Structure 1
Amino acid sequence: MATHIPVPKTNRARLDEHLPVDHRLSQVYRVGAGLMGLVLLAFGILGLIDKIGFFSTGGDEVAGLSTNGALSVLSICVGVLLFVGMVIGGNFASTVNMVLGIAFILSGFFNLALIDTTFNPLAFEIQNVLFSFVVGVLLMFFGMYGRVSSTLPHDNPYWKARHPEMAAREQSARAGQRELK
């Protein structure tokens, strides 16, 4: 009879673990959040400058994408949230990138269904849907970089969290090698 051995909760990787402040993964998360935040902020500000109606579906375009006041304000809010993630950095930036990436992909599918209907509150067209998919995938890439892979290096904090016994053995082996020198 097979028995199930429960894995202690301490061996599971958690999203709230803290990276060292100077860890190189934090820079990837910050750069990704900052770049995407800058793009969304610029798009939102340009949309508001054009003084487009809040829920207008008249086909007003900014930077090749259709927009209205609601989409502009939403873009600014998401851009600011990404900037907050960039400033805080670490796992917070990674998690914000992943969550917003999923939200952008879901938004793309949802708005794809609304394109040819009378209810299209964000004035989406096909180029907006494609933009939403691209931004979503990029945010997910930046958020998951160094966290999700089958071949994480052994100095990666996420690998250490998933393999604490092996990490402890490797650390004690390195300490023993330093003593021999």
Structure 2
Amino acid sequence: MKLRDELPTDHKLATVYRYGAAFCGVVLVAFGCLGFADQLSPFDTEGTRLAGLSTNGVLSLLSVLFGAVLIIGVVLGGNVASTLNMAVGTLFLLSGFVHLFILDRSANVLDFGMTNVVFSFVMGLLILTFGMYGRVSGGLPHDNPYWRRRHPEQAAREDALRRAPARPQITGPDVRPTASPET
């Protein structure tokens, strides 16, 4: 199975994946480009602040790369954008947890501060929510591709009922209901 086969190209969920990935990707690319414009050194941990976040050259590069990945998801659209959003959102959440534990230590080579950790959590949850929209829910409609994938037998029965020709109903005075064997 290919990822693009699961959703039709014009499915309304693809719009959510695309706009969410585009917004988050543009924010990340802008942050990274501002870091490059300031000509930050790659592993500087002296507390250079940009847009309220501490940064260095490597963090700017990572921001541009992850922003580009999300924008590539916008171009590809559909299920690819959703899957990329879920993967990148998970990585942002993990990064937030890791950097929370290495604040003020020598292992903090990306110069994360507490504002960066909060940003990582918020951005990760936002991106992850965009990726999960329409995939994770207890009340998905039966025409949703993710519901159909989880319930293939019931989806096949519903498809067969929709394709079956309508049977004419016989009604009239000479049609009598048959008695059940119990009576």
Question: Could you say which TM-score interval applies, normalised by the shorter chain?
Answer: 0.7 to 0.9
**Amino acid aligned to 2:43:** F
Q: Distance in 1 between matches of 2:99 and 2:110?
A: 8
**TM-score (normalised: structure 2):** 0.85
Which residue does 1:46 correspond to in 2?
A: 34
2:9 equivalent to 1:21: yes
Map Cα deviations across residues 25-72 of structure 1 (whole Å, 9 max, x no partner): 111111111111000000000111111111111111111111011100
**Amino acid aligned to 2:56:** N
Identity of aligned residues (%): 53
1:68 counterpart (29, 33, 56) = 56
Q: Which has the larger radius of gyration?
A: 2
2:153 equivalent to 1:155: no
2:111 equivalent to 1:118: no
**TM-score (normalised: structure 1):** 0.86
Equivalent pair of 1:15/1:91 in contact (CA under 8 Å)? no
Gaps of 5+ in 2: 169-183
Map Cα deviations across residues 128-164 of structure 1 (whole Å, 9 max, x no partner): 0000001111111011110111111111011111112
2:19 equivalent to 1:31: yes
Tell me: CA distance 1:107–1:101, structure 2 relative to 1, closer, same or farther (3 Å). Answer: same
Which residue does 1:7 correspond to in 2?
A: none
Gaps of 5+ in 1: 1-13
Tell me: CA distance 1:172–1:62, structure 2 relative to 1, closer, same or farther (3 Å). Answer: same
Q: Distance in 2 between matches of 1:125 and 1:93?
A: 30
Which residue does 1:109 correspond to in 2?
A: 97
How many residues are aligned here?
A: 167
Which residue does 1:144 correspond to in 2?
A: 132
Map Cα deviations across residues 86-129 of structure 1 (whole Å, 9 max, x no partner): 10011111111111111001101111111111231111000000
Tell me: CA distance 1:57–1:167, structure 2 relative to 1, closer, same or farther (3 Å). Answer: same
